């Protein structure tokens, strides 16, 4: 193994690490940017790269009591994939103290490096950090960074590296998209790197060809070609269908006699987003998203949109929208409460109302529906998986599992799904006519 010499306050220190060419290219960018988003294929060596970046920065830091953190989604996972690397590369250094119980190394410069899990983020509150690596970021709840890690970086103006492999359009994809824009606006601060297996040189072409044959294409595209648009086999709405819907557009004249429908998804317990979604026939409009809005204030916003949009149907999630529904009815508006667990109209096809609304929305998207260009909506739509119950009815993944897996509920998609709760009467020039959700293309 090669060796890397680092000049630190403790003198010249040699660590047993020789980066691959692709790792050397990554190190150069990590050195020159405060915030880095690193998208890599499997087996590139990103964890080794990140651990050695932490070690180098810790050894070079002249500030007293410097603190660095490697964070993985789970503590057990962090210990398995990173702790051995930390000890291996710190082992030959003089005067290094290893604390196995705290997963921490104390370096001769006085700096310390911790290996942590994001499953206990409160353990990080109240401390500071000179640098943080967040590995497998797709599996880490977004508020771990925004509410805990980002404040840790304030006092020392610390840096952060976000790493991972694509798993559809989730929180990591949202960060990736935002970081791309930030890198254009602040190129000296932000950097985004994508390293595919067919470009990095780490996996031989022969082995990569074998992997392509042996691995399901969705998995291969995600994990080796770093493709955020590849969807899992059991995702109800594939990302390709969503992207196609986002590329469609309809003129106002084409929608003139289509029913106007509103879906309202009030904030759930512990959540802070309420969503109003408007749809007319084959076109869904830009959603209205509100944060930390109480029921009375949300009812006022809904009333304003009803007056402006004049929908023929207003459907509100009954689970958390009781106060909103009551207030709107007091104001004289006709609204329909929708329990997600209630019996569907197509009871032989869907397990419950939630599955029916999502199933009809999926069909609408795949057969001509037009979606707004909204990153969070695209991510929400592609998060939900499905299965069939013993009676052959479509059943969706539980919301709790989605939130655990993705770090949030698909609030925007739920609001759009509510617009498919019931058939809505469309008003035509020659009189009223019922329009079901099986819309024909114009």
Domains of the chain, each with CATH number or no CATH: 4-223 (3.40.50.300), 239-435 (3.30.420.240)
Q: Do residues 38 and 163 lie in contact, with contact meaning Cβ atoms separated by under 8 Å? A: yes
Measured distance CA(231)–CA(359) in Å, rounded: 17
Mean pLDDT along residues 395-405: 85
Measured distance CA(52)–CA(236) in Å, rounded: 40
CB burial of residue 20 (10 Å; 0-12, 13-18, 19+): middle
Q: At what angle do helices 295-309 and 322-330 cross, to 10 degrees?
A: 50
Measured distance CA(354)–CA(342) in Å, rounded: 8
Is the pTM higher than 0.95? The answer reads no
Q: Which segments within 107-148 are labelled E, that is strand?
A: 112-117, 131-134
Which tokens go with 174? 């949202």
Rounded to 10 degrees, what is the CA torsion of 168, 401, 395, 273?
-80
pLDDT value at position 433? Answer: 42
Residue with tokens 């990173």: 82
216/153: higher pLDDT: 153
Q: Which tens digits make up the pLDDT trace of 85-119?
A: 999 999 888 889 999 999 999 999 999 999 999 99
pLDDT value at position 431? Answer: 46
442 pLDDT above the threshold of 50:
no
Q: Which tens digits make up the pLDDT trace of 320-379?
A: 888 999 999 999 999 999 999 999 999 999 999 999 999 999 999 999 999 999 878 988
Out of 73-82, 202-211, 268-277, 283-292, pick the least confident. Answer: 268-277
Share of the chain above pLDDT 70, in %: 92
Mean pLDDT, the chain, rounded, equals 90
Measured distance CA(304)–CA(222) in Å, rounded: 43
- Give every CB contact of residue 272 below 8 A, 6+ residues apart in sequence: 291, 292
3-state secondary structure of 242: helix
Q: Report the DSSP beta bridge partners of residue 313.
A: 261
Q: How confident is the model at residue 34 (pLDDT cuts 50, 70, 90)?
A: very high
pLDDT value at position 436? Answer: 39
Cα 110 to chain centroid, rounded? 36
R_g over Cα of the chain: 25
Measured distance CA(27)–CA(5) in Å, rounded: 14
Mean pLDDT along residues 264-274: 78
Q: How confident is the model at residue 26 (pLDDT cuts 50, 70, 90)?
A: very high
Q: How confident is the model at residue 388 (pLDDT cuts 50, 70, 90)?
A: very high
């Amino acid at each position: 193994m090669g060796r890397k010499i680092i000049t630190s306050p403790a003198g010249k220190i040699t660590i047993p690490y020789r980066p691959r060419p692709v790792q050397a290219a990554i190190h150069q960018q990590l050195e020159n940017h405060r915030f880095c988003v690193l998208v890599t294929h499997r087996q590139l060596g990103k964890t080794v790269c990140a651990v050695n970046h932490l070690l180098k920065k810790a050894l070079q830091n002249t500030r007293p009591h410097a603190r660095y953190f490697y964070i993985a989604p789970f503590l057990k996972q962090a210990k398995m994939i990173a702790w051995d690397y930390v000890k291996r590369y710190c082992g030959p250094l003089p005067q290094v103290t290893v604390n196995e119980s705290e997963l921490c190394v104390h370096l001769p410069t006085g700096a310390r490096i911790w290996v942590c899990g994001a499953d206990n983020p409160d353990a990080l509150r109240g401390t500071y950090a000179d640098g943080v690596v967040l590995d497998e970021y797709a599996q880490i709840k977004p508020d771990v960074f925004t509410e805990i890690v980002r404040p840790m970086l304030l006092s020392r103006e610390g840096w952060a590296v976000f790493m991972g492999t694509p798993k559809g359009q989730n929180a990591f994809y949202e960060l990736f998209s935002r970081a791309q824009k930030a890198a254009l606006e602040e190129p000296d601060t932000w950097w985004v790197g994508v390293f595919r297996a067919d470009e990095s040189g780490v996996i031989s072409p022969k082995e990569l060809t074998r992997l392509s044959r042996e691995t399901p294409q969705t998995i291969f595209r995600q994990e080796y070609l770093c493709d955020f648009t590849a969807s899992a086999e059991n995702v109800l709405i594939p990302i390709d269908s969503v992207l196609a819907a986002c590329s469609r557009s309809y003129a106002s004249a084409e929608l003139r006699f289509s029913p106007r429908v509103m879906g309202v998804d009030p904030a759930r317990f512990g959540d802070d987003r309420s969503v109003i979604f408007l749809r007319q026939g084959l076109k869904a409009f830009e959603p209205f998203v509100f944060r930390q809005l109480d029921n009375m204030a949300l009812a006022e916003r809904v009333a304003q949109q009803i007056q402006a949009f004049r929908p023929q149907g207003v459907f509100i999630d009954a689970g958390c929208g009781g106060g909103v529904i009551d207030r709107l009815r007091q104001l004289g508006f006709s609204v329909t409460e929708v329990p997600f667990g209630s019996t569907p109209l197509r009871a032989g096809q869907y397990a419950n109302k939630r599955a029916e609304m999502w199933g009809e929305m999926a069909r609408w998207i795949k057969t001509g529906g037009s979606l707004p260009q909204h990153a969070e909506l695209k991510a929400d739509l592609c998060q939900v998986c499905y299965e069939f119950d013993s009676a052959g009815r479509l059943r969706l993944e539980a919301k709790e599992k989605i939130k655990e897996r993705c770090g949030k509920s698909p609030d925007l998609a739920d609001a759009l799904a509510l617009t498919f709760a019931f058939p809505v009467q469309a008003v035509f020039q020659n009189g009223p006519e019922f329009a079901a959700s099986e819309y024909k293309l114009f």
